[in-house]
Amino acid sequence: MSPIVPWSLAIVVTSIAAVSDARTGRIPNWLNAAGFLAAIGLHVFHGIASLRLAALGFIVSGFVPGTLYLASRGQALGGGDVKLFAVLGTTLGPFSGLEVQLLSYSLLLVFALCKLSYQGELLRMLRNAAGLLIRRVMRKRGVAPDPQRLMAMRLGPAIFGAALLLALRAHLGWLAL
C-alpha cells in the first residue's frame, strides 16, 4: 500500500479532531469510529498481514494513553485522545502510531513551557514540580497541587501537528526528526 493513503487519512481525521477539540474540548466518537472503519477498510484489501499490523498498531498505540487515562481517572487526557491514538495506530501501524504519539506529547510540552514562560509562571511551576518530586522520592506526604493552579491544555491540535509534520517528513523527505 502506498504510504500516502494512510497518512492522508491520518491528516483528515486529526485535522477534524483538532478543530473539534479546540472548540469544544471533545473529540467526537463518530470521528474516531469513522477513522477506525476507514483504516480497517484500507488494510482489508492488502491481506491478513496488513490486518495483523493494524491490530498491533491499535493495541500498541492505545496502551500508554489508555493506561494514563485509567490511572488519572480521565484527568491527564481525555477518552477521545486515547481513541484517536488507537485509530492512528490502526491507520499507520505501530511504529508510526507511536511516533505520532511521542511527537504530540513533545509539541504539547514545548507549547506549555512557552505559555508558562510568557505568563511569568515557569520558574514557580518548576519549583513546585521539584518540590513534589522530592517529597515523592522521600516518601513524604505532600500537599496536593491546587486545582486552580493547574493548566488544562487540548491535545487534539498537538496530535494534528505531529501527524502533519511526520506526514511531510515521510513524503517530502525533510524534517529530520
Closest CA to 96 of 109, 107, 108, 87: 87
Q: What is the pLDDT of residue 72?
A: 84
pTM as predicted? 0.87
Q: Which pLDDT score, from 0 to 100, does residue 159 have?
A: 97
* pLDDT tens, position by position, 18-75: 999 999 999 999 999 999 999 999 999 899 999 999 999 999 999 999 999 999 888 8
pLDDT at 80 over 80: yes
Q: What is the pLDDT of residues 118-168, one digit of tens each?
A: 989 888 888 877 877 787 777 766 566 665 566 788 999 999 999 999 999
